[in-house]
Amino acid sequence: MIRSIVRHPLVYNLLIVLATLALYKIVSSGIIISFSRQFVDVMIFCFCVVQLYYFVVFSLRKLFFETGFNLSYAKILFRISITIIFVLLTFTANYWCLFDNNAASISGINESSLFRELLDMFYFSCVTFATVGYGDILPQSMAAKSCVILEMATAFFLVVFLISNVGTIMKASKSNGNGS
Protein backbone atom coordinates (compact mmCIF):
# COMPACT_ATOMS: atom_id res chain seq x y z
CA MET A 1 0.00 0.00 0.00
CA ILE A 2 2.77 2.46 0.90
CA ARG A 3 4.55 1.55 -2.32
CA SER A 4 1.45 2.40 -4.38
CA ILE A 5 1.10 5.74 -2.58
CA VAL A 6 4.75 6.67 -3.18
CA ARG A 7 4.48 5.64 -6.84
CA HIS A 8 1.55 7.97 -7.42
CA PRO A 9 2.79 10.74 -9.75
CA LEU A 10 1.59 13.59 -7.52
CA VAL A 11 3.37 12.20 -4.47
CA TYR A 12 6.49 11.54 -6.52
CA ASN A 13 6.49 15.12 -7.83
CA LEU A 14 6.04 16.50 -4.33
CA LEU A 15 8.89 14.32 -3.05
CA ILE A 16 11.18 15.79 -5.72
CA VAL A 17 10.42 19.34 -4.56
CA LEU A 18 10.91 18.38 -0.89
CA ALA A 19 14.12 16.50 -1.69
CA THR A 20 15.49 19.67 -3.27
CA LEU A 21 14.82 21.62 -0.08
CA ALA A 22 16.37 18.88 2.07
CA LEU A 23 19.44 18.58 -0.15
CA TYR A 24 19.88 22.34 -0.15
CA LYS A 25 19.72 22.44 3.67
CA ILE A 26 22.32 19.66 3.92
CA VAL A 27 24.69 21.33 1.46
CA SER A 28 24.25 24.86 2.83
CA SER A 29 24.70 23.79 6.45
CA GLY A 30 28.25 22.59 5.81
CA ILE A 31 27.66 19.23 7.48
CA ILE A 32 29.59 17.32 4.82
CA ILE A 33 31.82 20.03 3.38
CA SER A 34 31.66 23.80 3.36
CA PHE A 35 30.79 25.36 0.01
CA SER A 36 30.91 28.99 -1.06
CA ARG A 37 27.64 30.85 -1.60
CA GLN A 38 28.38 31.13 -5.30
CA PHE A 39 28.80 27.36 -5.60
CA VAL A 40 25.53 26.79 -3.75
CA ASP A 41 23.81 29.26 -6.12
CA VAL A 42 25.12 27.33 -9.13
CA MET A 43 24.01 24.07 -7.52
CA ILE A 44 20.50 25.46 -6.97
CA PHE A 45 20.30 26.54 -10.61
CA CYS A 46 21.43 23.05 -11.72
CA PHE A 47 18.74 21.48 -9.51
CA CYS A 48 16.24 23.81 -11.12
CA VAL A 49 17.23 22.67 -14.62
CA VAL A 50 17.03 18.98 -13.65
CA GLN A 51 13.65 19.44 -11.96
CA LEU A 52 12.26 21.28 -14.96
CA TYR A 53 13.49 18.59 -17.27
CA TYR A 54 11.63 16.03 -15.21
CA PHE A 55 8.42 18.00 -14.74
CA VAL A 56 8.13 19.28 -18.28
CA VAL A 57 9.50 16.40 -20.34
CA PHE A 58 8.15 13.50 -18.32
CA SER A 59 4.83 15.14 -17.49
CA LEU A 60 4.19 16.15 -21.08
CA ARG A 61 5.29 12.76 -22.35
CA LYS A 62 2.84 11.13 -19.98
CA LEU A 63 0.13 13.57 -21.02
CA PHE A 64 0.54 13.32 -24.77
CA PHE A 65 2.25 10.07 -25.64
CA GLU A 66 1.57 7.42 -23.01
CA THR A 67 -2.18 8.00 -22.97
CA GLY A 68 -2.76 7.09 -26.59
CA PHE A 69 -4.95 10.19 -26.92
CA ASN A 70 -7.71 8.62 -24.83
CA LEU A 71 -8.29 11.51 -22.45
CA SER A 72 -11.32 13.68 -21.89
CA TYR A 73 -10.96 17.44 -22.04
CA ALA A 74 -11.29 17.64 -18.24
CA LYS A 75 -8.45 15.15 -17.73
CA ILE A 76 -6.23 17.02 -20.17
CA LEU A 77 -6.85 20.30 -18.33
CA PHE A 78 -6.25 18.60 -14.98
CA ARG A 79 -2.89 17.18 -16.09
CA ILE A 80 -1.83 20.50 -17.58
CA SER A 81 -2.81 22.28 -14.36
CA ILE A 82 -0.87 19.80 -12.23
CA THR A 83 2.20 20.24 -14.42
CA ILE A 84 1.99 24.02 -14.08
CA ILE A 85 1.46 23.82 -10.30
CA PHE A 86 4.55 21.67 -9.87
CA VAL A 87 6.60 23.98 -12.08
CA LEU A 88 5.48 26.87 -9.84
CA LEU A 89 6.32 24.89 -6.69
CA THR A 90 9.72 23.97 -8.12
CA PHE A 91 10.57 27.60 -8.73
CA THR A 92 9.15 28.58 -5.35
CA ALA A 93 11.51 26.13 -3.67
CA ASN A 94 14.47 27.23 -5.76
CA TYR A 95 13.83 30.94 -5.21
CA TRP A 96 13.57 30.33 -1.47
CA CYS A 97 16.84 28.37 -1.50
CA LEU A 98 18.54 31.25 -3.33
CA PHE A 99 17.09 33.74 -0.84
CA ASP A 100 18.03 31.61 2.15
CA ASN A 101 21.57 31.20 0.81
CA ASN A 102 21.94 34.95 0.25
CA ALA A 103 19.13 37.35 1.16
CA ALA A 104 20.54 39.91 -1.28
CA SER A 105 19.89 37.59 -4.24
CA ILE A 106 16.20 38.57 -4.33
CA SER A 107 15.10 42.04 -3.24
CA GLY A 108 11.66 43.02 -2.02
CA ILE A 109 11.31 40.14 0.43
CA ASN A 110 11.11 40.86 4.14
CA GLU A 111 12.95 38.29 6.18
CA SER A 112 10.24 37.08 8.50
CA SER A 113 8.68 33.70 9.07
CA LEU A 114 9.39 30.75 6.80
CA PHE A 115 5.72 30.63 5.79
CA ARG A 116 5.75 34.31 4.75
CA GLU A 117 8.98 33.86 2.78
CA LEU A 118 7.60 30.80 0.95
CA LEU A 119 4.34 32.62 0.24
CA ASP A 120 6.28 35.58 -1.19
CA MET A 121 8.36 33.20 -3.32
CA PHE A 122 5.22 31.47 -4.59
CA TYR A 123 3.75 34.88 -5.44
CA PHE A 124 6.99 35.81 -7.25
CA SER A 125 6.93 32.51 -9.13
CA CYS A 126 3.30 33.02 -10.21
CA VAL A 127 3.97 36.61 -11.32
CA THR A 128 7.05 35.49 -13.26
CA PHE A 129 5.27 32.51 -14.84
CA ALA A 130 2.42 34.75 -15.94
CA THR A 131 5.01 37.26 -17.25
CA VAL A 132 3.27 40.04 -15.35
CA GLY A 133 6.36 41.34 -13.54
CA TYR A 134 4.97 43.89 -11.09
CA GLY A 135 8.48 44.84 -9.96
CA ASP A 136 7.88 44.57 -6.22
CA ILE A 137 10.19 41.53 -5.97
CA LEU A 138 13.33 41.53 -8.12
CA PRO A 139 16.10 39.01 -8.78
CA GLN A 140 19.50 40.51 -7.99
CA SER A 141 22.08 37.71 -8.25
CA MET A 142 23.09 35.99 -11.47
CA ALA A 143 21.62 32.70 -10.24
CA ALA A 144 18.29 34.35 -9.39
CA LYS A 145 18.17 36.12 -12.76
CA SER A 146 19.01 32.86 -14.52
CA CYS A 147 16.19 31.07 -12.69
CA VAL A 148 13.76 33.86 -13.66
CA ILE A 149 14.80 33.58 -17.32
CA LEU A 150 14.38 29.82 -17.11
CA GLU A 151 10.91 30.18 -15.60
CA MET A 152 9.80 32.68 -18.25
CA ALA A 153 11.10 30.41 -21.02
CA THR A 154 9.36 27.43 -19.44
CA ALA A 155 6.08 29.34 -19.17
CA PHE A 156 6.32 30.43 -22.80
CA PHE A 157 7.13 26.89 -23.95
CA LEU A 158 4.36 25.29 -21.90
CA VAL A 159 1.69 27.75 -22.99
CA VAL A 160 2.61 27.66 -26.68
CA PHE A 161 3.14 23.90 -26.76
CA LEU A 162 0.01 23.05 -24.82
CA ILE A 163 -2.29 25.45 -26.65
CA SER A 164 -1.06 24.20 -30.01
CA ASN A 165 -1.52 20.54 -29.07
CA VAL A 166 -4.74 20.42 -27.03
CA GLY A 167 -6.82 20.76 -30.21
CA THR A 168 -4.88 17.92 -31.83
CA ILE A 169 -5.46 15.68 -28.83
CA MET A 170 -9.17 16.47 -28.75
CA LYS A 171 -9.53 15.75 -32.48
CA ALA A 172 -7.70 12.45 -32.12
CA SER A 173 -9.79 11.59 -29.08
CA LYS A 174 -13.07 12.34 -30.89
CA SER A 175 -12.04 10.44 -34.01
CA ASN A 176 -11.33 7.39 -31.81
CA GLY A 177 -14.75 7.78 -30.19
CA ASN A 178 -13.27 8.50 -26.77
CA GLY A 179 -13.92 12.24 -26.43
CA SER A 180 -16.26 13.59 -23.79
pLDDT tens digit at each of 180 positions of the chain: 555 555 566 777 788 888 888 888 887 777 767 778 888 888 889 888 888 888 777 777 776 665 555 667 777 778 788 888 888 999 999 999 999 999 999 999 988 898 999 999 999 999 999 988 888 999 999 999 999 999 999 899 888 877 777 677 666 656 655 544
Q: Under a CB-based contact definition with an 8 Å cutoff, are residues 121 and 92 in contact?
A: yes
On whether residue 180 sits in a domain, the answer given is no
Number of domains observed in the structure of the chain = 1
Scanning the chain, the segments in alpha helix (DSSP H) are 2-6, 9-29, 37-52, 59-64, 73-101, 114-129, 142-175
The strand ranges marked E within the chain are 106-107, 138-139
Q: Under a CB-based contact definition with an 8 Å cutoff, are residues 16 and 22 in contact?
A: no
Domain range enclosing 48: 2-175
On whether residue 31 sits in a domain, the answer given is yes
pLDDT of 66: 56
Output the pTM of the full model. 0.81
CATH number, domain of 97, equals 1.10.287.70
On whether residue 119 sits in a domain, the answer given is yes
On whether residue 150 sits in a domain, the answer given is yes
Is residue 72 classed as helix, strand or coil in its secondary structure? Answer: coil
On whether residue 118 sits in a domain, the answer given is yes
